Amino acid sequence: MKVASRNTTLYLRPTAFIDAPFGYDSQFMRLAGGMQFFSAWEAIAVEGGRRAEQWLIPIDRIDDWVATLTPGQGERARAMIARATSPRAPLQLGARTVRLDQPQVMGILNTTPDSLSGGNAALGEPAALAAQGISMAGDGAAIIDAGGESTRPSATTVWEEDEKARVIPVIERLASAGTAISLDTRKAAVMQAGLAAGAHIINDVSALLFDDRSLEVMAASTAPIVLMHFPGTPQDPHTHGGYADPLIEVYDWLETRIAAVVAAGIARERLIVDPGIGFGKGVGDNLAILNGLALFHTLGLPLLIGASRKRMIGALSGEAPADQRLGGSLALALKAADQGAQLIRVHDVLETVQALKIWRGLRDAALSPS
């Protein structure tokens, strides 16, 4: 059995997934209380910010391996194991309960003229925009994510009053229809107004760093919060000079940010993490993060993935424009589901829900003893 150096920082990634656990007593663990089971841990040893070594440890030998570690390493390893395998509590969003033991779709409702997919034809018409959100919910979206400011590369920052004027009337209408609502914003005043209007989740691509008042506003609420990784400044989350190891660096950033938010008085149980696919990351960076996605479960929080129509799909498919990236978006959604992501944020709700129903059918069949 490989023994870790005393000077390394260790990471444990669930791997060696199996279709079903039957007949494999003591040889598997369940991922985050979901529908995935794995039979090994990938141990990654990092020194000086770079991987020094990595190896596979079968589930039935993990306790023996942890016993070889230093006290600090062992404590970290046991915490990662416990967090990766603990069930994720359902989200209680108004009258709706969203279970996190299976992947759920979050539908994107842009109220902006300059989103990744272009302007919404119903801009300036709250009733029509809300009807789009209600339609997405009817198509199977568990949550509608409404946003009034584009955060695509080179997008212009929107004045908070204009952002509120765009999105709050839509949230009010969605709330009156009983929809579970996420508000995509970086601004404290918009968060405050959105929560008052009926939003249930705050989805902040700046992880509460863009606005100095965001921590205070969210500490005074009970709403769940999505903390997304970005490598640049809160004002420009797309700038970055490159990664030595994107998977490890994004993980470390999120781990540090979670600790800071909790220290500011926000309960850890309210947090959701998002590795920020496409934000200050090249194609190779995004692929490395998606391939290693199961590592993020060792943070012990629900995992949100937003890769729908991202530029990486165009880069891998002959520069397909945003409105021709459905196939790639579905491929990434299924990759996220296989890796245990609980929330998958998409533009194309109907198609993604259908793909996940087929995925669920395959999982149900595998988990039905013959």
- Residues with catalytic function: 310, 345
The encoded tokens of residue 72 equal 């600090």
Give the separation between CA 103 and CA 241, rounded to whole angstroms: 33
End-to-end CA distance of the chain: 36
Which residues, listed in sequence order, are joined to residue 305 by a DSSP beta bridge?
344
Tokens coding 49: 């910010």
Q: Which two tokens stand for residue 195?
A: 């929560």
How many CB atoms neighbour CB 320 within 10 A? 17
Q: State the Cα–Cα distance between residues 199 and 144, nearest whole angstrom.
A: 10
The two structure tokens encoding residue 189: 């005043």
SS (H, E, C) 103-127: CEEEEEEECCCCCCCCCCCCCCCHH
β-bridge pairing 343-346 and 29-30: unpaired
The answer to whether residues 13 and 339 touch, using CB atoms and an 8 Å cutoff, is no
- Full DSSP string of 116-171: TT---TTTT-HHHHHHHHHHHHHTT-SEEEEESS--STTPPPPPHHHHHHHHHHHH
Residues 138 and 176 sit within 8 Å (Cβ to Cβ): no
Four-CA torsion 349, 320, 154, 350, nearest 10 degrees: 0
Q: In what order do the strands lie in the sheet with 181-184?
A: 271-274, 225-228, 201-204, 181-184, 143-147, 104-110, 343-346, 304-305
Dist. CA 19–CA 38, nearest whole Å: 9
Specify the 3-state DSSP secondary structure of 304: strand
Amino acid identity at 314:
G
